[in-house]
């Protein structure tokens, strides 16, 4: 059924709340008093002109902005974890990144095998149970609609996968820690139509287990997949609506 816009109403629980959010690159103010709420177990797509701060907003949510020299943030961002709203800056960074995964516009597989790519976040967090790791890798590759394509070559380099396969691999890798929120920056922009449709199918299935916040320039993608649409303009969310 095609999506049509209607008045924005939060029907589900709120997963992330933002209020008075400012972000500066040196003296340039990119986000200006942003405020809003993001539904739990829903797909919210952020749209708007190039250069208005959509990617910056995602980087604020999981504190990647802290890696950028002379970038600073003011205001409050809260995420609901175990029934309580917690300020993202009160959480240890590894704990936040585990709960708030991110997938980038250009797939970034590591120069290692398909299996090791997906297992990497578990090993990084200290998991050593090989049976558990093997089971989780299989589970998330199935969730990423990739298992049948790679199950016989898990030891091959992930760099040999197609662009669409690499993007699904990166989503599987982000999902293996069971994040509450998955942030995706233009996840289909570098893919052909067939690969992009597979990503859409994947994302629609993932919202049953996590909250998805997506940046996209593509109107058709936004219309097909979004539960809510926010427009970022002049540093603020100027208008917003549901899609259904």
Q: Give me the residues paired with residue 7 across strands.
A: 241
Task: State the pLDDT confidence band at 69, using cuts at 50, 70 and 90.
Answer: very high
Mean pLDDT score of the chain: 91
pLDDT for residue 243 is more than 80: no
pTM: 0.90
CA distances to 21, 61, 85, 93 from 75, rounded to whole Å, are: 4, 12, 15, 18
pLDDT tops 80 at residue 81: yes
Q: How far is CA 191 from the centre of its chain?
A: 17
| pLDDT surpasses 60 at 133 | yes
- Report, as an integer, the average pLDDT of 170-193: 94
Task: Express each pLDDT in 37-57 by its tens digit.
Answer: 999 999 999 999 888 999 999
- Give Dmax (Cα) for the chain: 52
Q: Please, which pLDDT band fits residue 189 given cuts at 50, 70 and 90?
A: confident
Whether residue 119 contacts residue 139, with contact meaning beta carbons closer than 8 Å, is answered with: no
Res 12: pLDDT? 76
Q: Which residues of 107-128 are buried (b: 16+ CB within 10 A; e: fewer)?
A: bebeeebbbbbbbebbeeeeee
pLDDT band at 4 (very low <50, low <70, confident <90, very high): very low
Position 146 pLDDT exceeds 80:
yes
CA dist., res. 98 & res. 218, Å (int) = 28
Mean pLDDT of 149-157: 98
Q: pLDDT at residue 111 above 70? A: yes
Q: Cβ neighbours of residue 49 under 8 Å, at least 6 residues apart? A: 233
Q: How far is CA 162 from the centre of its chain?
A: 21
Domains of the chain: 14-243 (3.40.50.300)
State residue 241's pLDDT score. 53
């Amino acid at each position: 059924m095609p999506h049509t816009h209607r008045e924005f109403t939060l029907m589900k629980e709120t997963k992330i709340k933002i209020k008075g959010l400012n972000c500066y690159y040196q003296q340039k103010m990119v986000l200006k008093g942003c405020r809003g709420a993001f539904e739990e177990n829903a797909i919210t797509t952020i749209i708007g002109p190039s250069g208005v701060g959509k990617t910056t907003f995602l980087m604020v949510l999981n504190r990647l902005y802290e890696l950028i020299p002379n970038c600073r943030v003011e205001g409050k961002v809260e995420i609901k974890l175990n029934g309580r709203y917690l300020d993202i800056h009160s959480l240890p960074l590894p704990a936040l990144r585990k709960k708030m995964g991110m997938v980038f516009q250009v797939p970034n597989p590591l120069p290692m095998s398909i299996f090791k790519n997906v297992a990497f976040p578990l090993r990084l967090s200290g998991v050593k149970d090989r049976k558990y790791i093997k089971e989780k890798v299989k589970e998330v590759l199935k969730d990423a609609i990739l298992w049948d394509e790679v199950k016989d070559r898990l030891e091959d380099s992930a760099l040999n996968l197609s662009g669409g396969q690499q993007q699904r691999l990166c989503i599987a890798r982000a999902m293996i820690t069971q994040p509450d929120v998955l942030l995706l920056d233009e996840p289909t922009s570098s893919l052909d139509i067939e690969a992009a449709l597979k990503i859409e199918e994947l994302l629609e299935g993932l919202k049953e287990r996590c909250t998805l916040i997506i940046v996209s320039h593509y109107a058709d993608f936004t219309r097909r997949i979004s539960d809510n649409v926010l427009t970022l303009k002049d540093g603020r969310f100027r208008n917003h609506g549901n899609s259904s």
